[in-house]
Structure 1
Amino acid sequence: MFPQTDRLSLRRFRPEDAPALAAYRSDPEVARYQSWASPVPVEAADALVRSYAAGDPAEPGWFQYAVELKAHGALVGDVAVCLHENRMQAEIGFTIAPDRQGRGYATEAVGAMLRELFDERGLHRVSAECDARNTASARLLERMGFQREGRRPEFTWLKGEWTDDLLFGLLAERWRALTA
C-alpha cells in the first residue's frame, strides 16, 4: 500500500508536510501545467494535507502519496493515484519539487507506484495524461513503458488558454514484459 525504494518512501501525508507542499506547489514552473494556481499559501497546503491524509489508497478515487527522501525525511514531491471503481485500473500523476528535479526521484517514485499497482494489487491498466507542452513528464511516462494513446487538441481550458492533452496507457502485460 505504501511503496518504498532505496532512496524514497511513498507514504501518507502528515501535518508537518504543509510548508514543503506549499513551497514546491507555489513555484510557477511546477504549477504551469497543473490545475492549481501559484502561489499556494501554507494555510491552503495545510487543508490539502489534511484532505490527503484522510484518504484511503485501497478505495476508488484519488489518493495522494507524499514522496519522502529517506536520508533526510524531506518531502520531495507527491504521486497521485485515482483507483477506478472496478479496482482493476487507475490513473497516475506526479509532481516533484523543482530543487529535487533531475535526480531520478520522479522515475523512482512512479516506478515504485507501478510495481505496487501491477505486482501487488494486480491492476490490469494504468493511464496518465499530461499537457502536451510538458515534455519532461511525457518523456518520463514513455521511459516507464507507457504508450502514447492519443492527443486531444485544445481539450483543457487552463489558466486562460486552451491546451492539448496527451493520453498514455500501460497494460499489466506490457509492464510484466518490461520488468521481467
Structure 2
Amino acid sequence: MTTNTLCQKVNALHLTTERLTVRRPISQDQEAHLIHTLDPEVCRHIREVPSVEDAKRAFIDLLDPWQGDEHEWACFMVELQRDKAVIGSVAFRYTSHEDNIVEIGYRFNRAYQGHGYAIEAMTAFIDALQQQIQVRKLIALVSVENTPSLKLIEKLNMEQEGYFKLNHFVVDHWVDEKQFALLNPYFSYIN
C-alpha cells in the first residue's frame, strides 16, 4: 500500500460499535479531549500532564490530516452514540513502516471508565487496523503499575513479548514497562 493510500484510509477511518463511534477529531472536541488530557489521574501512567496551552496546541495539531510518518500518532475520538459525548481517544503510530508494526494507545475520561467502553472501542479499532489498514503487528507498552490497562490488554488477547526495566519516565520517576503484541490473523505472511 502506498503512503498516500494509507493516509487516505487512516484519515477516512470512521467506526461504529453498539454504543460508540470512533472517528477523527473535529474542533468541537477540544473541550472534552482536554478533560482527559489534563487529568493527572488519567496521565499518571503515560506522561506528565501538559500545560493547558500545550494541550490546546497539541489538540489543534490533531485536526490536521495524518501524514503517515513513523512515530506520528493518528488520534481518534471515542464518542457515545446516545448523546455524542466525547469520552476518550484511541491512537496508533507506526514504529516501523518497513516491518508494518504499529503501537496502540488509549485514554478515557475517568467519568466513563469501568463501563466497558475501552474494550469496545479498542476491539473495533484493532479490527480496523488489521482488516482495513492491514497492519501486520500491533504492540502496546504498558507500565507495570497500570493495573487497569494490563487487564484491558489481556482482554484484547495481546501476548506479552517483553519486560523493560526503568523504560519510561513518568512525572517524577522511571517505570518498568511490559510490551504486548498481537499479530494480524488476516495478514498474508507468504510473499
- Tell me which interval the TM-score lies in, with the shorter structure as reference length: 0.7 to 0.9
Specify the alignment match of 1:50 in structure 2. 60
Whether the aligned pair in 1 keeps the contact of 2:162 and 2:178 (CA below 8 Å) is yes
Specify the alignment match of 2:20 in structure 1. 8
The Cα of 1:11 is off from its aligned counterpart by 1.0
What's the CA shift string for 1:43-69, capped at 9, x where partnerless? 443322211111327665310111111
Specify the alignment match of 2:86 in structure 1. 75
Specify the alignment match of 2:182 in structure 1. 170
What's the CA shift string for 1:71-126, capped at 9, x where partnerless? 11111000011034237321100001000001111001110111101122222110
Aligned alpha-carbon RMSD (Å):
2.0
TM-score (norm 1): 0.87
Whether the aligned pair in 1 keeps the contact of 2:38 and 2:55 (CA below 8 Å) is no
> Structure 1, unaligned stretches of length 5 or more?
none
**35, 45, 57: which is aligned to 1:33?**
45
Q: How has the CA–CA distance of structure 1 residues 75 and 87 changed in structure 2, closer, same or farther, with 3 Å as cutoff?
A: farther
User: Which whole-Å CA distance do the structure 1 matches of 2:22 and 2:107 have between them?
Assistant: 13
Specify the alignment match of 2:124 in structure 1. 112
* Identity rate, percent: 27
Residues matched between the structures, number = 173
**138, 155, 170: which is aligned to 1:143?**
155
Q: How has the CA–CA distance of structure 1 residues 57 and 108 changed in structure 2, closer, same or farther, with 3 Å as cutoff?
A: farther
User: Which whole-Å CA distance do the structure 1 matches of 2:85 and 2:48 have between them?
Assistant: 22
SS in 1 for 2:15: coil
Say if 2:124 is the partner of 1:124. Answer: no
User: Which whole-Å CA distance do the structure 2 matches of 1:105 and 1:23 have between them?
Assistant: 17
TM-score (norm 2): 0.82
Whether the aligned pair in 1 keeps the contact of 2:163 and 2:178 (CA below 8 Å) is yes
Whether the aligned pair in 2 keeps the contact of 1:148 and 1:169 (CA below 8 Å) is yes
> Structure 2, unaligned stretches of length 5 or more?
1-12
**2, 24, 29: which is aligned to 1:17?**
29
The Cα of 1:159 is off from its aligned counterpart by 1.4
